[in-house]
Amino acid sequence: LADRAQLATGGEPAGGSVTFTARQIDLSGAIRFDRSVEKVTFAASGDLRLIGADPYATNFSNNGSAIPPTLRGMLSVHGDLNLTAAQIYPTTGSTFNVVSAGEDATITIGRTGDLPDTPYSAGGNLRIQAANIVQGGVIRVPFGQLTLGGNAVLRATDSPTASIIAPATQSVVLTAEIG
């Protein structure tokens, strides 16, 4: 699936870590790091853009009419996730989920450099959900929707027996700049 990552619950715990460093980072479509990766870091001196991809299939409503596709994407990890950039944002019209399936995992958002101008992006949706979230960076979703954490477990489907993508959020800490 180009627009949704498989669950990050596979793999054997191995304590691995991975770091990506660049001037600008574009995350497009579905990206998954399983249980073998304990810590994932994306560090950009400029923007970190979250780019949705076209769905692989057309959805239809109850009356048989096609539902317009949306650009969707997901970054799915099982351990801790660090996102550091001048600003983080979904591109125009993208719906992007950044999640960690770890029971005690933390997603930390930090900032680098001077505050850049607002991006030319609008109408995006961004959900960040993990057991713990520390927000000390710049997240922008102009004319869109930002969701930090959730009171309920995030599942792959609406079924109560579906696999867990992210646990309910235990804490959200808003702090001065991290970086």
Q: Does residue 111 contact residue 85 with C-beta atoms inside 8 Å?
A: yes
Count Cα atoms within 13 angstroms, Cβ side, for 159.
Answer: 5
- Please indicate whether residue 4 or residue 12 has the higher confidence score (pLDDT): 12
Q: How many CB atoms lie within 10 A of CB 117?
A: 6
Ramachandran area for residue 107 (φ above 0: left; ψ -120 to 50: alpha; else beta)? beta
Q: Does residue 30 contact residue 74 with C-beta atoms inside 8 Å?
A: yes
Q: How many CB atoms lie within 10 A of CB 51?
A: 16
Task: Report which of 165, 98, 85 is spatially closest to residue 133, judged by C-alpha positions.
Answer: 98
Residue 103 has pLDDT above 80, yes or no: yes
Rounded alpha-carbon distances, angstroms, from residue 115 to 20, 46, 94, 137: 21, 10, 23, 10
Residue 168 has pLDDT above 50, yes or no: yes
Q: Give the pLDDT score at 4.
A: 53
Residue 77, SS3 per DSSP = strand
Q: Give the pLDDT score at 38.
A: 94
Q: How many CB atoms lie within 10 A of CB 77?
A: 27
Q: Is residue 154 very low, low, confident or very high in pLDDT (cuts 50, 70, 90)?
A: confident
Amino acid identity for residue 104 in this structure: D
Q: Does residue 140 contact residue 87 with C-beta atoms inside 8 Å?
A: yes
Q: Give the pLDDT score at 27.
A: 97
What integer is the mean pLDDT of 113-127? 92
Residue 1 has pLDDT above 80, yes or no: no
Q: Give the pLDDT score at 158.
A: 58
Average pLDDT taken over every residue of the chain: 86
pTM of the model: 0.86
**What is the per-residue pLDDT across 46-101, written as a single tens digit (0 to 9) for each?**
999 999 988 765 566 566 665 565 788 999 999 999 999 999 999 999 999 999 99
